[in-house]
Amino acid sequence: MLIRQNWVTSEFSPPKEELFFLKQEEVKKPVHKGLIRTLGTGGLFSIGYADVGAGIFLALGLVALHAGYATPLAIGVAAIAYALTGLTYAELSSTYPMAGGSATYARAAFGDGISFVAGWMLCLDYLVTSAIFSIPAVGYLSYFYPPLKEPLWLGVGAMLILAGLVALNTIGIRSSVRFTLALSILDIASEIALITLGLVLVLIPSGALFSWPGKFNLGTSFPGPRWDQFVQGITLAMVSYLGIEAVAQAAEETKVAGRTIPRATMLTVTVVTVIYLLVSLVSVNLVPPLILSSTWKNDPLSGVANSLPVAGWALAIWISILGASISVIGANAGIIGSSRMLYAMSQYKLLPGKFGEIHSRFRTPYISILTFGLGSILLVGFSTMINLGDSVDPLVLLGSLYNVGALIAYVQAHLSVIITRNTDREHFRPFRIPWSIRFMRRREEWELPILPLAGMLITGAIWVAVIATHELGRLLGVVWVLMGMGIYIYFRRRNNLPVWKRADVEVSNPRRVEG
């Protein structure tokens, strides 16, 4: 059997097979001297859920502010885009199991210029991830100390949390996958308890659950929401699904990546989608959306738990502690993710090698950690100062800024599946998204994967909605892109490298780093 080696990975690949999953044991495994592959399905799921699962702790109040009682519908529409993107990442990350996420996939499909755009937008996502999760980390602690709800103290507390995380990551305090998995299980169990108690104690006996569809009327001012409000709710609902690329970023540390990554991705997508839909349905029927988005804006699940007639106060205390903890882990994931992304981009000569430099003592990518950690701190301070003027809510600003970057990266990922299916046909794909349209082009058979095409159109439409409805996020997003392109073009030309085409660079196996 003819075996070929692809440019993007050191793993060998057999010719294309018409199988959904292919057994990894059938392929000769090469010796790999990079990161130690220790992560199984459970470990990968914990990484994905810690990133994505924390989203509901911060986004519920934001969506309720605009979508009102139609919040579950807005979260459901966003879930469709999330599920399709999950499928795309499952195929790409198992086909190209390297750190770099969308940047790696865009390089395979388009070349270095588009690869830089994808990677740079993901860097924005990680920057915002750290900032946006630090705010609910303080918000949930305000259940015990109400003055923390004030914008000034909320911002100061968030910046102190980020400063602590930057220090810990710089000296090499590593997060435990087992601890993250345990926290994820506790979070799932707590949300199931919240859903069950809400349904059994209140919503089913009172009939409120069955009367829920009559509480809203899409397209009307009252009871609302209007279509523009509902669309804005959808854009903010996407914030609750941030972090789907976290599983892909850990590809080089995964055992039997071709089989494990798709399983972990699909498990994360399924669990998160079901829990989010049920939590949002119970929440807006237990606590009126107006109160949920004002009184409990920064700690919405604490407010939902507090409204339960039996043991609500006890569950609210637990949810507050859990919400603060998982939000800190979410903020830390942004710092770790940015260092991995910058390392991958420096390997492909998309950014100066300084960003991937490892500290001689602590063995951490300290320059990238310090740079992006400081950026997150400044971003929290900026959004808090704006909030002091009562002009823009910091979570709304950060959420829109996140979506500007994330949705571009997701669109490029969907496009990468479509392109590489036809330009990199012989590359071994352990997982293939089903359903394609086949047609003849230039005397060759081409295929158009239906689900990635649908994902590209839906995420693209939501991105347009974000650009149209979030003016400040749009402005800051443009500034970020222009700044990045300036750095990239200057660096490439100074080193006599092509700007758009793929440079012929030798990519070494990543060194193991702490953090």
168-204: pLDDT as tens digits: 888 875 556 677 778 888 999 999 999 999 999 999 9
For residue 65, being part of any structural domain is answered with yes
* In the predicted structure, residue 254 carries a pLDDT above the cut 70: yes
String of DSSP letters for 13-42: EPPP-S-SB--GGGSPPPP--SS---B-HH
The confidence score (pLDDT) of residue 100 equals 76
The confidence score (pLDDT) of residue 7 equals 35
Lowest mean pLDDT segment, chosen from 51-60, 145-154, 160-169, 473-482: 51-60
Per-residue pLDDT of 406-454, as tens digits, reads 899 899 999 999 999 999 988 889 999 999 999 888 888 899 999 999 9
Per-residue pLDDT of 214-229, as tens digits, reads 999 998 887 889 999 9
Q: Can you read off the two tokens belonging to residue 475? A: 């402005």
The confidence score (pLDDT) of residue 340 equals 76
The confidence score (pLDDT) of residue 353 equals 85
Of residues 162 and 41, which shows the higher confidence score?
162
The confidence score (pLDDT) of residue 399 equals 87
CA distance 42 to 59: 25
Counted domains in the chain = 1
For residue 29, being part of any structural domain is answered with no
Residue range of the domain that includes 451: 38-494
* In the predicted structure, residue 301 carries a pLDDT above the cut 70: yes
The confidence score (pLDDT) of residue 8 equals 37
pLDDT classification of 14: cutoffs 50, 70, 90: very low
Instruction: Give CA separation, 27 vs 19, 282, 327, in Å.
Output: 14, 48, 40
CA distance 429 to 432: 6
Contact 358, 511 (CB under 8 A): yes
Spatial CA neighbour of 133 closest among 243, 268, 282, 271: 243
The confidence score (pLDDT) of residue 405 equals 87
The confidence score (pLDDT) of residue 322 equals 92
Average confidence (pLDDT) over 505-514: 51
State percent of the chain over pLDDT 70. 88
The confidence score (pLDDT) of residue 347 equals 81
Spatial CA neighbour of 83 closest among 480, 493, 454, 502: 454
Q: Which are the contacts of 509, defined by CB distance < 8 A and separation ≥ 6?
A: 10, 32, 33, 34
The confidence score (pLDDT) of residue 178 equals 75
For residue 14, being part of any structural domain is answered with no
Q: Which residues of 394-403 are buried (b: 16+ CB within 10 A; e: fewer)?
A: bbbbbbbbbb
For residue 18, being part of any structural domain is answered with no
* DSSP class of 220: S
Amino acid at 165: L
pLDDT classification of 506: cutoffs 50, 70, 90: low
Q: Can you read off the two tokens belonging to residue 311? A: 């043991």
Of residues 490 and 44, which shows the higher confidence score?
490
Q: Can you read off the two tokens belonging to residue 470? A: 């979030």
For residue 100, being part of any structural domain is answered with yes
* In the predicted structure, residue 20 carries a pLDDT above the cut 70: no
Average confidence (pLDDT) over 247-261: 77
The confidence score (pLDDT) of residue 33 equals 44
CA distance 392 to 384: 9
User: How many beta carbons lie within 10 A of that of residue 342, not counting itself?
Assistant: 27
The confidence score (pLDDT) of residue 241 equals 85
Instruction: Give CA separation, 141 vs 254, 299, 326, 496, in Å.
Output: 35, 9, 12, 52
The confidence score (pLDDT) of residue 1 equals 36
The confidence score (pLDDT) of residue 437 equals 94
Spatial CA neighbour of 41 closest among 88, 94, 95: 94
The confidence score (pLDDT) of residue 30 equals 45
The confidence score (pLDDT) of residue 24 equals 41
Spatial CA neighbour of 133 closest among 273, 246, 265, 291: 246
For residue 33, being part of any structural domain is answered with no
* In the predicted structure, residue 21 carries a pLDDT above the cut 50: no
Q: Which helix (DSSP H) or strand (DSSP E) does residue 310 occupy?
A: none
Amino acid at 503: A
* In the predicted structure, residue 515 carries a pLDDT above the cut 50: no
Q: Which helix (DSSP H) or strand (DSSP E) does residue 449 occupy?
A: strand 444-449
State percent of the chain over pLDDT 90. 48
Lowest mean pLDDT segment, chosen from 132-136, 162-166, 249-253: 249-253
The confidence score (pLDDT) of residue 390 equals 54
Average confidence (pLDDT) over 337-342: 81
The confidence score (pLDDT) of residue 27 equals 40
Count of all residues that appear for the chain in the document:
515
The confidence score (pLDDT) of residue 396 equals 84
* In the predicted structure, residue 271 carries a pLDDT above the cut 90: yes
Tell me the CATH number at 120.
1.20.1740.10
The confidence score (pLDDT) of residue 170 equals 86
Taking the alpha carbons at both ends of the chain, their separation in whole angstroms is 41
- CA 106 and chain centroid, separation: 18
Tell me the pLDDT of the chain averaged across its residues.
Answer: 84
